[in-house]
Amino acid sequence: MTREITAGKETLYDKVKAVESYLKISSQYRYSKSGTRHVPKNSDYVEFFLFESKVGYCDNFSSAMSVMLRSIGIPTRWVKGFSQGQVRETQDDYSVYNIRNSDAHSWVEVYFEGSDWVPFEPTPSFTGTQQVQEQKKEEKTTPSSSDKKENNTQPSSTQSAKSVTRNQQENRESIIDKIKLFFDDNKKVVTFVSQIACLVLVMLILLIVFKYRYFMGLLISIGILKRSFTRIYRLLLKQIEGKLPRENSETLNSYAEKVSGEMPEISVTFSELTREYEAVTYGVRKDVTVSENQKNNILDLSKYLIKTKKNT
């Protein structure tokens, strides 16, 4: 694999850059801290990353590059440390940085004769520190001490801004990856929980519908269907009988008196509605749709009954 990637590259530097670019830029590999899969038992760490999971963080990318370069005889070492972090304050001749656990990082260093160990950065979204070409320029031209100070201090704010942006991006990606990984690893559990949640939701809806069935029936019958007063009264009577059972031989007047004794809060209103119902039933009044006053009384009674416990 590494020989194919470095085929046609003449110099040591070009070969190293080819491997670095392959890992860093290739769409085959994805950077993720939380989405990294555990290496199965008896599997090689680097092989599993390169050929199976293809998702990882800095340790995966840097380890892979180290092993790949060593496989073609290039002296390479794996380095674990911290990235630059964020600038806390800047003085005339130095800057103070905040280095946190989230700045932990690993990279690769390759030995170049005459240049010593040079760092390379194969991890996506991270930038390298100092490459061979820059070192060769420094060998040809040695800057003054003042120039060195400027070179060391000027990029600090820009690098800090990049570090902040990178950390924010990684945090967002980490949250998204954690959610995706959880759903991927727990499909059966998620499906089961979703089904239970749907079942509970349906049961809650049915309970609400059952509890308010008479009130909704009255509301629809009065407002939409424009039912007659007698039909509305019989529906209300059915709701009251559900709270206070009525004997088969019991007349409406007797039942209204019993309701007054058990539920005095609605005695006046229910007795008045019962008298109006009997007047219509025995032909004294015409059966028409409910008046606004009757509508308010009936709905208030229904709402009161919803809150009342059943009497035995």
pLDDT at site 152: 45
Q: Where are the alpha helices (DSSP H) in 142-291?
A: 145-153, 155-185, 187-211, 213-223, 229-243, 252-262, 267-281
- The answer to whether 87 touches 157, Cβ cutoff 8 Å, is yes
**What pLDDT does 136 receive?**
42
Structure tokens at 107: 């990279």
CA–CA separation, 198 vs 140, rounded Å?
Answer: 72
pLDDT of residue 286 exceeding 70: yes
Phi, psi of 87 (to 5 degrees): -75, 125
- Residue type, position 269, single letter: T
pLDDT-based confidence at residue 176 (cuts at 50, 70, 90): confident
Using alpha carbons, list the distances in angstroms from residue 107 to 6, 230, 280.
20, 86, 93
Rounded Cα distance between 16 and 6, Å, is: 8
What pLDDT, in 10s, does the model give residues 120-153? 999 998 875 444 444 444 444 444 444 444 444 4
Is the distance from CB of 252 to CB of 271 less than 8 angstroms?
no
Task: Express as a percent the part of the chain with pLDDT over 70.
Answer: 83
The mean pLDDT value for 60-84 works out to 94
pTM score: 0.44
The torsion angles phi and psi of 77, rounded to 5 degrees, stand at -135, 145
| Mean pLDDT, residues 7-26 | 94
User: For the segment 207-266, what is each residue's pLDDT rounded down to a tens digit?
Assistant: 999 999 999 999 999 999 999 999 999 999 999 999 999 999 999 999 999 999 999 999
Q: Average pLDDT of 277-302? A: 91
Q: What is the pLDDT of residue 151?
A: 45
Mean pLDDT across the stretch 2-30? 94
Among candidate residues 105, 151, 100, the one with its CA nearest the CA of residue 126: 105
Half-sphere exposure of 297 (CA within 13 A, CB side): 19
Residue 100 confidence (pLDDT)? 87
pLDDT at 95 over 50: yes
Contact 298, 218 (CB under 8 A): yes
Tokens of 108: 């690769």
pLDDT of 158 strictly over 80: no
**Per-residue pLDDT tens for 43-61?**
999 999 999 999 999 999 9
pLDDT exceeds cutoff 70 at 109:
yes
Pick from 103-107, 265-269, 295-299, 306-310: least confident: 306-310
Question: Quick check: 154 pLDDT over 60?
Answer: no
Q: Who's near 98: CB < 8 A, 6+ residues apart?
A: 85, 86, 87, 88
What confidence category does residue 34 fall into, taking pLDDT thresholds of 50, 70 and 90?
confident
Q: Kindly state the helix (H) or strand (E) to which residue 61 belongs, with its residue range.
A: helix 58-71
What do you get for the CA distance between the two ends of the chain, in Å? 84
Q: Which of 91-105, 127-141, 154-168, 295-309 has the highest mean pLDDT?
A: 295-309
Query: Average pLDDT of the chain?
Result: 85
Amino acid in position 122: P
- Specify whether the CB–CB gap between 244 and 262 falls below 8 A: yes
Greater model confidence, 169 or 117: 117
**148 CB neighbour count, 10 Å cutoff:** 12
Instruction: Return the higher-pLDDT residue of 165 and 207.
Output: 207
